[in-house]
Amino acid sequence: TQEFSVSNQNPIHGKMGRVPVGIGRRRMRIVVTGGAGFVGSHLVDKLIGRGDEVIIIDNFFTGRKENVVHLFGNPRFELIRHDVVEPILLEVDQIYHLACPASPVHYKYNPVKTIKTNVMGTLNMLGLAKRVGARFLLTSTSEVYGDPLQHPQKETYWGNVNPIGERSCYDEGKRTAETLTMDYHRGDGVEVRIARIFNTYGPRMCLDDGRVVSNFVAQAIRKQPMTVYGDGKQTRSFQYVSDLVDGLVALMEGEHIGPFNLGNPGEFTMLELAEVVKDTIDPSATIEYKPNTADDPHMRKPDISKAKELLNWEPKYP
């Protein structure tokens, strides 16, 4: 078990009675909403691994039991099938709020549900945090910058977002979730943290969830052409999931509210990404061009100076 100590500037928060977990720190009870999903399941592994108790709340819209089945039987692990749009009563010290479909294909599938999840789901988790005095972390997104007119994006940029487009349920939903988070902080004194996550890849992504890394990899393995949307010159910056999880934990345990960009500044066009997949999986892989989706951001690259300075965090993997 990895142990870590909480500094003096970071008083034990929450009202939960804690049991010792090692030198310098007591065991916490932590909720991870969306914990059966791609990012959430890796975060849960890290929290369980360091000795904490974890309760996952997930409705299995895009999450899977397979992602966490290795934890079944662990007495410090619980899994609740629950939709965060509905209230729930729990006693916890920290809440990592991830519940929300992240792939454009999934969040556009039922846009009203996506908004409900972002607004009512976030409201419920903030209400819970307020009632029990838990610290609350929101996983927001680089999509709050929309199709950005500043490059790279700094946290001070307010974004260029279409309020009535196909992506709005997600990006406006997350913007509202950020607003709620700050209003509960200012109005009710809830301890909050906001992460703006940039495109993330790694094991346990759904193979067919429509995001570009999993699409290209799945297509190359299946000997199908890799589908490049538009001219393929749009850019994204991809971070490996363990780097993100380290950043989320550093943010939760640190002293700063944020928002913080958590992403890898390495920027690639989709054509360059296709080349990487080709080199890695199948040199004979081909490309097929398809029309791009509406409001697709032309470029995206995080400025992570703030996270480097205040969280002492930066990605380790290219």
Q: Give the catalytic positions in this structure.
A: 170
212 binds, among ligand NAD, ligand UDP, none (CB under 5 to 8 A by kind): ligand UDP
177 counts as binding ligand UDP under rule CB under 6 A: no
Encoded one letter per residue, x for contact with ligand UDP by CB under 6 A and - for no contact, window 225-264 reads --xxx----x-x----------------------------
What is the number of alpha carbons within 13 Å of residue 34 lying toward its C-beta? Answer: 23
CA 34, 40, 45, 51 torsion-angle sign: negative
162 counts as binding ligand UDP under rule CB under 6 A: no
Residue with Cβ nearer ligand UDP (97 or 211): 211
87 counts as binding ligand UDP under rule CB under 6 A: yes
* Structure-block tokens of residue 32: 């991870």
SS3 letters across 266-298: CEEEHHHHHHHHHHHHCCCCCEEEECCCCCCCC
Going by C-beta distance under 8 Å and a sequence separation of 6 or more, which residues neighbour residue 272? none
270 counts as binding ligand UDP under rule CB under 6 A: yes
6 binds, among ligand NAD, ligand UDP, none (CB under 5 to 8 A by kind): none
CB 39 within 8 A of CB 98: yes
Q: Which residues bind ligand NAD (CB under 6 A)?
A: 33-34, 36-40, 57-63, 83-85, 98-102, 117, 121, 139, 141, 197, 199-200
* Terminal-to-terminal C-alpha distance of the chain: 27
Nearest to 153 by CA among 302, 313, 18, 17: 302
159-167's contacts with Cβ under 8 Å and 24+ in sequence apart are: 162/295, 165/294, 165/295, 166/108, 166/111, 166/293, 166/294, 166/295, 167/104, 167/107, 167/108, 167/143, 167/294, 167/295
> What span, in angstroms and rounded, lies between the C-alpha atoms of 144 and 79?
30
> What span, in angstroms and rounded, lies between the C-alpha atoms of 225 and 97?
36
> What span, in angstroms and rounded, lies between the C-alpha atoms of 89 and 15?
14
88 counts as binding ligand UDP under rule CB under 6 A: yes
Encoded one letter per residue, x for contact with ligand UDP by CB under 6 A and - for no contact, window 3-22 reads --------------------
Q: How far is the CB of 298 from ligand UDP (least distance, A)?
A: 8
Q: How far is the CB of 302 from ligand NAD (least distance, A)?
A: 11
130 binds, among ligand UDP, ligand NAD, none (CB under 5 to 8 A by kind): ligand UDP
> What span, in angstroms and rounded, lies between the C-alpha atoms of 314 and 261?
10
Residue with Cβ nearer ligand NAD (21 or 79): 79
269 counts as binding ligand UDP under rule CB under 6 A: no
Q: Which residue has the tokens 């993997």?
A: 317
Q: How far is the CB of 84 from ligand UDP (least distance, A)?
A: 9
215 counts as binding ligand UDP under rule CB under 6 A: yes
197 counts as binding ligand UDP under rule CB under 6 A: no
Binding site for ligand UDP (CB under 6 A): 87-89, 104, 123-124, 127-128, 130-131, 199, 210-212, 215, 227-229, 234, 236, 270, 292-293, 296
